[in-house]
Amino acid sequence: MSPPKDFATPAAAAAPQAANVVPRIFPIVLAVFASFMAIGIALPVLPLHVHGHLGQSTFTVGVVAGAQFAAALLTRAWAGGLCDTRGAKLAVMTGFVLAVGAALVYLASLAVANQPATSVAVLVAGRVLLGCAESLIVTGALSWGVGLVGPQNAGKVMAWVGIAMYGAYAAGAPAGMALYRQYGFQGIALAGMLAPALAMLLLAKTAGLAPAAMRRIPFYKVLGAVWLPGMGLALSSVGFGVITAFISLLFAGKGWGSPALAFSAFGAAFIGARLLFGHLPDKIGGARVALVCVLIEVIGQLCIWQAPSPMLAYAGAALTGFGYSLAFPGFGVEAVKRTPPQSRGAAMGAYVAFLDISLGLTSPLAGALAGAHGVSAVYLAGCAAVSGALLIAIRLLQPPSAA
């Protein structure tokens, strides 16, 4: 039987070298960036629309925002299975279609804006569609990229797909605010259709890869294979979660003015680390990179916890961004090593699901902690959680015990 085309064979695996990995995956990276703009432009606008325009409570704002996360988490297994059985390109393109559909549902919610409860219900349906789309696009892009350049370059694929995602968030937020001020929520919905439609055009002529012909292993076994690096990702993601959710409250509580520079420091360090050192997980090993970078993230969280002035908080945000940036591909390389090629799409879905779980739990738990002990305590807890990822990285460095 001929070897599957979805992943590199021993002969093909030697072909993709570091110099030509990026050109081979660049169309996928660019399409991920374009499609994630649809998510990024809505991030700062949803609270304003739901709370301000529709007059709903902050709890309702949380429900609307969280619907996307819940849908993404619940569809990771399905997205991974679709990649493995029907091909990663189909999964990605299906995600783009669902993203366009989500924007159409956004528009439909405006038609019943005079009935706020109904409008919110329709909007939640759109967020669920967008969560399904995000799950398919991310899982498919990672699986497709690894299939194109081989598992020995998995870290580079994860690094570049991550740059596209977080770059789109960073660019989308100010673009979304500008659109909302000029055209209202209708402008957000129309841009939400345009972004994934453009992504579809970018990948329309890019060749897909045939699904692996070998028998897939059940998803629960895939989950069992990646749970340790997945837990490393989940714990290291707490540092990211507490910055995005609570740095504004920290600055407000201490009277430090705008926290915008903290977000900029985090984002610049995150992207800079991936551009400069994104090749290291593949070159020296994912666990080694994760160990060093998680330690940097721990120091960043400690800096924010003890910051007597905004300058140290900026430094802490930058250190957290730098460390977290390479923790994702570092632990991800270890996840790829533990799964067979025919189930790699499922492995990507299972691995990213740990990120969904982490970000979904971090905000409410940290919010309760902040209410009881103050916002600064959130960053001490972030330090403790990320230290757990440090222990996992050390465990992953140890050779597996003999059966």
Q: What is the secondary structure of 156-202 as a DSSP string?
A: HHHHHHHHHHHHHHHHHHHHHHHHHHHHHHHHHHHHHHHHHHHHHHH
Q: What is the pLDDT of residue 47?
A: 73
Q: What is the pLDDT of residue 124?
A: 92
Q: What is the pLDDT of residue 58?
A: 65
Task: Assign domain 10-203 one CATH number from 3.40.50.1820, 3.20.20.140, 2.40.220.10, 1.20.1250.20.
Answer: 1.20.1250.20
Q: What is the pLDDT of residue 401?
A: 54
Nearest of 244, 187, 251 to residue 48 by alpha carbon: 187
Amino acid sitting at position 293: C
Domain with CATH 1.20.1250.20 in the chain: 10-203, 219-397
Nearest of 349, 22, 286 to residue 155 by alpha carbon: 286
> What's 256's DSSP letter?
-
d(CA 232, CA 355) in angstroms, rounded, equals 10
Q: Hunting for tokens 């930058």 — which residue is that?
A: 318
Q: What is the pLDDT of residue 119?
A: 93
Please list the ranges in the chain whose pLDDT falls under 50.
Answer: 1-16, 402-403
Hey, what are 220's tokens?
Answer: 């629960």
Nearest of 36, 179, 188, 202 to residue 105 by alpha carbon: 188
Q: 19: exposed, middle or buried (C-beta count within 10 Å: 0-12, 13-18, 19+)? A: exposed
Q: What is the pLDDT of residue 304?
A: 96
d(CA 125, CA 130) in angstroms, rounded, equals 9
> Using DSSP, how many helices (H) and how many strands (E) does the chain show?
15, 0
Hey, what are 13's tokens?
Answer: 């695996």
Kindly report, residue by residue over 205-244, the tens digit of the pLDDT: 887 777 765 556 666 677 778 899 999 999 999 998 888 7
> What CATH class does 219-397 carry?
mainly alpha
> What's 87's DSSP letter?
-
Q: What is the pLDDT of residue 5?
A: 40
Backbone dihedral region of 212: left (phi > 0), alpha (psi from -120 to 50 degrees) or beta?
A: beta
- 149 contacts 25 by C-beta, under 8 angstroms: yes
Hey, what are 163's tokens?
Answer: 């740059």
Q: How far is CA 144 from CA 154, 241, 325, 352, in A?
A: 11, 27, 21, 15
Phi and psi torsions of 91, nearest 5°: -60, -45
d(CA 392, CA 386) in angstroms, rounded, equals 10
